[in-house]
């Protein structure tokens, strides 16, 4: 499909959505037996449009995303227990922060619970690795966003040898059990692995070293991580193979093109919200009686 | 000052800023001995423009607000201890939520820690009233947003008689001591009391009762609160008189015009960020050496 003709303004989101040749959730969902190293980080699976159309579709879907978030929030305030958790994983510079700013930033901050997970603090270390994760789970009605997550326990912990193999090997099943429990409690989990190329990472790190307003994003440890690239790819491969489940599947998003990664995550998030079939909560009071009380007040 | 002539695009924020006849922080700051009941909720203290100019100025200042927030965040990630805390108080329908959506929503969600305080949970009740407040204070580099706050301890608690007088009377000094400690730790506190009229509240509550997509925002208890209007005004008056301090002053924002309240809070927040004189953190590594490491990686 090439450029489409422009329809009336109201049809625009729908027309743009047709640039997807497959539903994003199908095109990006990790399939068992897949080969991560075969994923082209500059590809745009399922998307036949370009950057302009992608940017336009994100903007066109912003109102729906925002309204569904408000419905979820309303449900949470009315006794509902559902929530959504967006998990973002990816190597340094993969664009996790940009997605938070440009995609999560489209909805009301009141309904967002964002948390970044770096190296654990002393207090956190005194507990199991899921302790700080549990504490950061979204409350009912909220969209939680994890910038890195419990999955680092089978990524950095494994690659850097922070635990012996027998320990980190046990985490895959623990993670699956934990996520099944979270899903059973009413939280829809959307797990996104952002995939960038070595070249693109080099370019992004170079930019951080060339711009004084980006120094703060640079960490010399990023190079150490970079030097273990293949080990990380292997760890990501196993994470995908062993923690992509029916209830909490992984979506693999090529991220060399920032505009595609942002489009993909906004569509996956929208998809998750749509799947909840959110209405507005019914009044749990007598509307007419309250109108009379208000009139007399 | 009436309509100004339009200058070049670059001068626009500055030209619009001139619609302020006094700095917002001066025009809105609570002055000792002031009379809250004399504040006109439909006034726009210090602002000589209209709605269009206000909306335009908020948009024009969005980039600066966003960049200063990023600098604050960068500082926090680089070992700095400073943060900003925006405290929003106001009767039901005063527009606290709208400010979060439209003003706080202008910055990166990654750097925002938002918390609403409703009636305390059982766990929270088991602790002192400042316990849940301390737990929600913004981490270094963040902008914290409190939708209601510890000040409810001298508002709802007082008016509804949830504690005997001797207890709530003690809270004013406790609050001041607590805030002095928070400020001393590096957090700039911006306290905003939104003031609406009885008529405007009636209109907004009516809307909530007429629109099924607004039912969830309505609580029959709002009418009970409304029936104690004068008691709440008296409690707000004392709160302003007794907890507006040099280190954590109150700003009183007339809020019958939503556009003015949003403008005012965005300007007060911008002002707080500007006063921090935020630069970009210097590199804590050898930039040239890192460039060489990166090149060889």
pLDDT tens digits for A88-105? 999 999 999 999 999 999
Query: In which band, very low, low, confident or very high, does the pLDDT at A16 lie, cut at 50, 70 and 90?
Result: confident
Closest approach of B2 to chain A, Cα-based (Å): 34
Query: pTM for the full model?
Result: 0.93
Mean pLDDT within B232-261: 98
Query: In which band, very low, low, confident or very high, does the pLDDT at B15 lie, cut at 50, 70 and 90?
Result: confident
- B97, B109, B227: residue with CB nearest A297: B227
Are the beta carbons of B105 and A109 separated by less than 8 Å?
yes
Are the beta carbons of A223 and B290 separated by less than 8 Å?
yes
Q: Is the per-residue pLDDT at B102 higher than 60?
A: yes
Residue B204 and residue B219: Cα distance in Å, rounded?
A: 13
Structural contact between residues B82 and B76, judged by C-beta atoms closer than 8 angstroms = yes
Q: What is the pLDDT of residue B165?
A: 97
- A100, A101, A212: residue with CB nearest B280: A212
Class of the domain covering B15-278: alpha beta
Tokens coding A209 = 């070293």
Q: Is the per-residue pLDDT at B8 higher than 60?
A: no
Beta-carbon contacts of residue A181 (< 8 Å; ≥ 6 apart): none
Q: Which residue of B has its CA nearest to A215?
A: B283
**Chain A residues closer than 8 Å to B291 by CB:** 206, 209
Structural contact between residues A83 and A136, judged by C-beta atoms closer than 8 angstroms = no
Whether A245 has its CB under 8 Å from any CB of chain B: the answer is no
- Which residue in A101, A107, A109, A269 has the most chain B C-beta atoms within 10 A of its own C-beta, making it the best mutation to test that interface? A109
Q: What is the pLDDT of residue B11?
A: 67
Least confident piece of the model among A8-22, B17-31, B32-46: A8-22
Closest CA to B214 of A112, A104, A73: A73
Q: Which residue of B has its CA nearest to A279?
A: B213
| pLDDT, tens only, A176-190 | 999 999 999 999 999
Domain ranges, ordered by start, for chain A: 15-278
Residue B35 and residue B43: Cα distance in Å, rounded?
A: 15
Mean pLDDT within B238-248: 98
Residue with structure tokens 């423009």?
A: B49
Q: What is the pLDDT of residue A17?
A: 83
Q: Is the per-residue pLDDT at B294 higher than 80?
A: yes
Residue B214 and residue B208: Cα distance in Å, rounded?
A: 5
**Chain A residues closer than 8 Å to B110 by CB:** 97, 100-101, 114, 116, 147
**Chain A residues closer than 8 Å to B100 by CB:** 108-110
What ipTM, to 2 d.p.? 0.92
Are the beta carbons of A220 and B294 separated by less than 8 Å?
no
Closest CA to A228 of A164, A163, A165, A156: A156
Please give the angle made by the CA atoms of B259, B204 and A78, to the nearest 5 degrees.
110
Least confident piece of the model among A44-53, A217-226, B8-17, B138-147: B8-17
Residue with structure tokens 């008689």?
A: B161
Q: Which residue of A has its CA nearest to B68?
A: A213
Q: Is the per-residue pLDDT at A10 higher than 60?
A: no
Question: Quick one: what percent of chain B has pLDDT higher than 70?
Answer: 96
Mean pLDDT, all residues of chain B: 95
């Amino acid at each position: 499909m090439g450029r489409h003709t422009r329809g009336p303004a109201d049809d625009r989101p729908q027309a743009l959505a047709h640039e997807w040749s497959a539903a994003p959730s199908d095109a990006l969902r990790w399939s068992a037996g897949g080969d991560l190293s075969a994923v082209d980080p500059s590809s745009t699976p399922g998307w036949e449009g370009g950057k302009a159309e992608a940017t336009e579709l994100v903007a066109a879907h912003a109102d729906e995303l925002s309204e569904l978030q408000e419905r979820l929030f309303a449900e949470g305030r009315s006794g509902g227990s559902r929530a959504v958790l967006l998990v973002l994983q990816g190597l340094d510079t993969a664009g996790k922060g940009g997605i938070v700013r440009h995609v999560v930033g489209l909805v009301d901050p009141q309904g967002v619970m964002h948390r970044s997970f770096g190296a654990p603090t002393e207090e956190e270390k005194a507990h199991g690795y899921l302790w700080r994760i549990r504490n950061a789970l979204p409350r009912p009605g909220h969209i939680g966003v994890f910038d890195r997550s419990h999955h680092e326990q089978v990524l950095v912990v494994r690659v850097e040898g922070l635990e012996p193999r027998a320990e980190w090997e046990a985490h895959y099943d623990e993670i699956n059990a934990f996520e099944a429990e979270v899903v059973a409690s009413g939280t829809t989990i959307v797990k996104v692995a952002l995939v960038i190329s070595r070249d693109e990472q080099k370019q992004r790190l170079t930019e951080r070293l060339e711009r004084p307003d980006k120094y703060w994003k640079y960490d010399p440890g990023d190079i150490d991580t970079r030097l273990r690239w293949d080990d990380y790819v292997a760890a990501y491969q196993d994470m995908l193979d062993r923690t992509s489940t029916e209830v909490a599947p992984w979506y693999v998003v090529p991220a060399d093109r920032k505009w595609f990664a942002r489009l993909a995550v906004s569509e996956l998030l929208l998809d998750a919200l749509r799947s909840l079939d959110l209405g507005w909560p019914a009044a749990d009071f007598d509307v007419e009686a309250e109108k009379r009380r208000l009139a007399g007040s």
